Structure 1
Amino acid sequence: MLYILNFFICLIAAGLYLAMALGLGFRVIYDRPTFWVRYLTWFFSTPLLLLDLGFLGRTSLPITGSLIGANAYMMATGFVAAITPKPMNYIWYIVSCGAFLATLYLLVQPYRVEAEQKHPRSRRVFKKLLTVHVVLWTLYPVVWILASTGFNILSQGYETMGYTLLDIASKVGFGFLSLNSLRQLEQANEAPARLYQSSSVV
């Protein structure tokens, strides 16, 4: 399951950059160059990233549904912020950030607690996963507010570079990290069984 999820996450991201390379998914909205296709691909890829975490933590359905719902609302309001004229777009940006904070809370509290209860030997694994995930996802709204959608401090080139590096790290890099975490979880779960077999032999 984890390999399938990571495959489609990377496939969706690859489709984004193919569309951008072909000059698709781009519009000038209120004198701002806007790659609306980014939001479309994020809307489909970010739930898969959350399912990645849910699979590793064996997360219950209510927590998983809450995470995906808060994330979908964050993406939808973020897109509205990107296509709304200033300064009204800052209102939608704040609303989107509120949904983002709700997503972070769900990850660092109920998700983490439930994952550690089900994997008591692997708390460090989830601490690393969540730290990387939270840091990378937090940088997205930072780029947004510094780019032409916000304070216009970053040029379009730096904005594109920022999102590209974040996409590589949060999708490809996080995919490798999640697969490595799966291996560590399997090893931690196998350790008690090996210990039991050794004691039975003795």
Structure 2
Amino acid sequence: MTQFWLWIGVIGMASGSIFFGVGAHNAKKESWRAIFILNFFITAIASALYLAMALGQGVNVIQDRTTYWVRYVTWFLSTPLLLLDLAYLGRTSVPLVGSLLGANAYMIATGFVATISPKPINYIWYLVSCGAYLAIIYLLVKPYRLEAERKLPGMAGAFRRLVTVHLVLWTGYPLVWILGNTGFNLISGGVETMLYTSLDLASKVGFGLLSLNTLHTLEQVREPQLVRR
């Protein structure tokens, strides 16, 4: 079951990267090309590292647990691009982008330390990582959304949906972590891989499609405003 879902990850991410790559090549507007390129690299990175896992690389027994540590390489490289995706759409200020990227790096780094730490020390690091995630939630729900709505009037619903989907998907990761062998060991390794792969596909390929839809909505809202001016 584990291998099956790892190969699903390879195929799904590779398909997404092809779609976004072709979109970037064919895009006529710079805004569309930027979103396509960001999502291309998000899925291309993930597809390569899923291939590594499917080939038996990036996995070791750490603290008597089978640990796919290469997942953290994937997340450390791809999640900043996801946040830049959000920032580009919301025209986010540099200080806020820096705060999001910093909290994200802190979250993933401490999450990795939690994964390779013995029990019960790993739960301490898990809580530290969750604290960084709470900071990301706050930054997206309040300053990010308010800034986006101020700069892009009429887009409140689109950004509310974008942030909600993003946070619902990302909240799934710490839940799988605590249920898997890194935490309470309530689910098998195969189920854990299935859940991580499903979350990765939804939060990378699926969210990439949502970001394109948001850009389309943004342009539809802006065009009538420009005509009135």
Please classify the TM superposition score into its range, dividing by the shorter chain length: over 0.9
Q: State how 1:8-47 maps to structure 2 within 5 Å.
A: 8-47=41-80
Counterpart pick for 1:140 among 164, 173, 197: 173
Q: 2:179 corresponds to which letter in structure 1?
A: L
Corresponding residue number in structure 2 for 1:187: 220
Rounded to whole Å, the distance in 2 between the matches of 1:160 and 1:102 is 27
CA offsets 1:56-102 (integer angstroms, 9 cap, x no match): 00000000000000000000000000000000000000000000000
1:88 paired with 2:121, answer yes
Rounded to whole Å, the distance in 2 between the matches of 1:42 and 1:193 is 39
Corresponding residue number in structure 1 for 2:98: 65
C-alpha deviation, 1:187, in angstroms: 1.1
Identity of aligned residues (%): 67
Rounded to whole Å, the distance in 2 between the matches of 1:18 and 1:133 is 25
Instruction: Give the structure-1-normalised TM-score.
Output: 0.96
Q: What secondary structure sits across from 2:61 in the alignment? A: strand
Q: What secondary structure sits across from 2:164 in the alignment? A: helix
Rounded to whole Å, the distance in 2 between the matches of 1:193 and 1:138 is 38
Q: State how 1:138-177 maps to structure 2 within 5 Å.
A: 138-177=171-210
1:52 paired with 2:85, answer yes
Show structure 2 runs of 5+ residues with no match. 1-33
How many pairs align?
196
Q: 1:148 corresponds to which letter in structure 2?
A: N
Q: What secondary structure sits across from 1:115 in the alignment? A: helix
Task: Decide which structure has the larger Cα Rg and report it.
Answer: 1
C-alpha deviation, 1:194, in angstroms: 2.4
Rounded to whole Å, the distance in 1 between the matches of 2:160 and 2:227 is 25
C-alpha deviation, 1:114, in angstroms: 0.2
Show structure 1 runs of 5+ residues with no match. 197-202
Rounded to whole Å, the distance in 2 between the matches of 1:33 and 1:151 is 14
Q: What secondary structure sits across from 1:40 in the alignment? A: helix
